């Protein structure tokens, strides 16, 4: 099949809905064989079925679960060309009120999960002398922050450090590691976790005038996962409608 990632084997974690489902769909449209990993089994099965892919239950914070997805992918398709770690959670809480359990939960999914996905993918990709790892970071943490996002911001800033470190180590083996930094994207998670007022305030602060779509982010991931990004590693693409640009409120 022709396409920008034709015949590539892609694992997309956190892909049962939202941005991750958009990424899996975009990669499949461009010819990749897609393995979807998530904890929402019914939704994940449906995404994989729609794309002609495979679904595997995978709690991103669990090393054995990620290793099992990677091993099953290698067994089924012989390789893992593309690893996208997109799973993330974003509870709201003021710093002074964050229970340590909530801090650990956010770091476990967002940062530890990204480390585990990188590690498992890198082990296979080094042997192939080829790989594309793409992590979903955020503008929140690396660049800006709204109130009540301390754990989330710390986890996403950590992902950007991980991207640089992993890219340096992967370079000699033909493995690139990059990320995307979405701004505010309309997803199921956004609708569930954020109020209408929050969403309206965000929309009003975006120069391009509206929240983004999962497909907007997926197009950037597709580029980083493709051979077009051969010479790009250790960096991130901001997909935010210009939200981080304004220097003043007026």
Ligand X SMILES: NC(=O)c1ccc[n+]([C@@H]2O[C@H](COP(=O)([O-])OP(=O)(O)OC[C@H]3O[C@@H](n4cnc5c(N)ncnc54)[C@H](O)[C@@H]3O)[C@@H](O)[C@H]2O)c1
Task: Point out the residues that are catalytic.
Answer: 152
Q: How far is the CB of 175 from ligand X (least distance, A)?
A: 21
Binding-site string for ligand X from residue 67 to residue 86, where x marks contact by CB under 6 A and - marks none: -------------------x
Confirm or reject binding of residue 109 to ligand X (CB under 6 A).
Answer: yes
Q: What gap in Å lies between CA 32 and CA 21, rounded to an integer? A: 14
| Residue in this structure with the two tokens 């979903």, named with its chain if needed | 136
> In sequence order, which residues have a C-beta less than 8 Å from that of residue 250 and are 6 or more positions away?
none
Confirm or reject binding of residue 138 to ligand X (CB under 6 A).
Answer: yes
Confirm or reject binding of residue 243 to ligand X (CB under 6 A).
Answer: no
Q: How far is the CB of 21 from ligand X (least distance, A)?
A: 7
Q: What gap in Å lies between CA 99 and CA 7, rounded to an integer? A: 45
- Looking only at residues 146 through 205 of this chain, which bind ligand X when binding is defined by CB under 6 A? 182, 184-185, 187-190
The pairs formed by 101-108 with CB atoms below 8 angstroms and a separation of 24 or more are: 102/151, 103/151, 106/151, 106/152, 106/155, 107/151, 107/154, 107/155, 107/158, 108/61
Stretch that binds ligand X, among 3-11, 15-23, 117-125, 164-172 (CB under 6 A): 15-23
Contact 207, 245 (CB under 8 A): yes
Pick between residue 23 and residue 125 the one whose CB is nearest to ligand X: 23
| Residue in this structure with the two tokens 């974003």, named with its chain if needed | 90
Confirm or reject binding of residue 39 to ligand X (CB under 6 A).
Answer: yes
Coil/strand/helix, residue 37: strand
Confirm or reject binding of residue 16 to ligand X (CB under 6 A).
Answer: yes
Q: How many residues bind ligand X (CB under 6 A)?
A: 29
Among 5, 34, 48, 61, binds ligand X (CB under 6 A): 61
Classify strands 9-13 and 131-136 as parallel, antiparallel or unpaired.
unpaired
Among 10, 11, 19, 82, binds ligand X (CB under 6 A): 19
Pick between residue 16 and residue 167 the one whose CB is nearest to ligand X: 16
Pick between residue 174 and residue 189 the one whose CB is nearest to ligand X: 189
Confirm or reject binding of residue 91 to ligand X (CB under 6 A).
Answer: no
Confirm or reject binding of residue 90 to ligand X (CB under 6 A).
Answer: yes
Q: How far is the CB of 148 from ligand X (least distance, A)?
A: 14
Q: What gap in Å lies between CA 55 and CA 203, rounded to an integer? A: 34
Coil/strand/helix, residue 88: coil
What Å distances lie between residue 145 and 88, 149, 153, 243, CA to CA?
16, 7, 7, 12
Q: How far is the CB of 121 from ligand X (least distance, A)?
A: 15
Binding site for ligand X (CB under 6 A): 13-14, 16-20, 38-40, 58-61, 86-90, 109, 136, 138, 182, 184-185, 187-190
């Amino acid at each position: 099949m022709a396409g920008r990632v034709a015949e590539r084997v892609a694992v997309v974690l956190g892909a049962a809905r939202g941005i991750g489902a958009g990424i899996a769909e975009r990669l499949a449209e461009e010819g990749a064989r897609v393995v979807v990993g998530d904890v929402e089994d019914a939704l994940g099965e449906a995404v994989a079925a729609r794309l002609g892919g495979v679904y595997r239950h995978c709690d991103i914070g669990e090393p054995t679960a990620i290793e099992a997805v990677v091993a099953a992918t290698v067994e089924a398709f012989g390789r893992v060309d593309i690893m996208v770690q997109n799973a993330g959670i974003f509870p709201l809480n003021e710093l002074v009120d964050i229970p340590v359990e909530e801090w650990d939960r956010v770091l476990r999914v967002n940062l530890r999960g990204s480390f585990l996905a990188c590690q498992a993918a890198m082990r296979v990709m080094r042997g192939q002398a080829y790989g594309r790892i793409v992590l979903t970071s955020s503008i929140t943490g690396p660049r800006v922050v709204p109130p009540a996002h301390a754990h989330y911001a710390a986890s996403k800033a950590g992902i950007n450090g991980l991207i640089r470190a992993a890219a340096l180590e992967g370079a000699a083996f033909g493995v690139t590691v990059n990320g995307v930094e979405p701004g505010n994207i309309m997803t199921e998670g956004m609708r569930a976790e954020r109020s209408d007022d929050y969403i309206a305030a965000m929309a009003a602060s975006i120069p391009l005038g509206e929240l983004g779509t999962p497909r907007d982010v997926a197009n950037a991931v597709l580029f980083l996962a493709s051979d077009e990004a051969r010479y790009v590693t250790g960096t991130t693409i901001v997909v935010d409608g210009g939200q981080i640009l304004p220097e003043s409120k007026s």
